């Protein structure tokens, strides 16, 4: 093999590694943000549920 071909293949190899590395970082960031958004949604549901239960409890007749 001549030197230019070896350098070209080596360059392409490292370029693909950089691409996959940044792609993995982007994916993990999106997954983290997705998990964060899901936590907010579940907290919002929990707050709504507790609030509804408290309101219903205040309106129910006392025994």
pLDDT in tens, 52-63: 666 666 665 555
- Domain coordinates in residue numbering, the chain: 15-63
- List C-alpha distances in Å: 37 to 23, 29, 41: 21, 12, 6
Q: Is the pTM of this model over 0.85?
A: no
How far is Cα 32 from Cα 34, in angstroms, rounded to an integer?
A: 5
pLDDT reported for residue 61: 58
How far is Cα 48 from Cα 2, in angstroms, rounded to an integer?
A: 69
pLDDT reported for residue 10: 66
Strands (E), the chain: none
How far is Cα 36 from Cα 38, in angstroms, rounded to an integer?
A: 5
- Over the stretch 3-44, which tens digit does the pLDDT of each residue have? 666 666 667 776 665 555 555 566 666 666 665 555 555 566
Q: Look-up: residue for tokens 């507790």? A: 50
pLDDT reported for residue 7: 61
């Amino acid at each position: 093999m001549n030197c230019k071909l070896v350098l070209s293949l080596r360059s392409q190899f490292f370029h693909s590694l950089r691409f996959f590395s940044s792609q993995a970082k982007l994916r993990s960031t999106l997954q983290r943000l997705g998990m964060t958004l899901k936590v907010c949604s579940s907290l919002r549901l929990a707050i709504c549920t507790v609030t509804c239960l408290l309101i219903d409890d205040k309106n129910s007749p006392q025994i």
